[in-house]
Amino acid sequence: MKLKKYLFIILIILPVILVAQSTENSNPKKLTKSEKAKIKKEEKELKEAHKAEERAKKHYREIQTKEVRKRMKESRRKARKNNERKEEFFLFRLFRK
């Protein structure tokens, strides 16, 4: 009885799932030239913004003194370790002040 019930449910639901999946990709949207140009322009602007941000970061690092750059590097390492949730080296943990 249970087997017939499950088979009946599967036979009803399976075609619905297959039809839903096949209609999803049957009508892909065609892009016009203007839409392609717009997308390309947006990507180019995004790339330029990213480059400008990288240049600003590089300039910021270059104008710092040597000691500050050293502190920044150390804090970057600690932040990376904390974000990865890795523990410190066991000797550091043993002899911590």
What's the pLDDT score for residue 28? 60
> What does the pLDDT average to over 89-97?
82
Give me the mean pLDDT over the 38-60 stretch.
Answer: 95
Q: What confidence score (pLDDT) does residue 74 get? A: 95
pTM of the shown model: 0.45
pLDDT score of 16: 66
Judge contact between 64 and 72, C-beta under 8 A: yes
Cβ partners under 8 Å of residue 31, min gap 6? 39
Q: What CA–CA distance (Å, rounded) separates 19 from 23?
A: 6
Question: Could you tell me if 22 and 16 are in contact, meaning their C-beta atoms sit under 8 angstroms apart?
Answer: no
Numbers of helices and strands, H then E, in the chain: 4, 0
CA distance 38 to 75: 41
Mean pLDDT of 8-36: 71
pLDDT at 92: 84
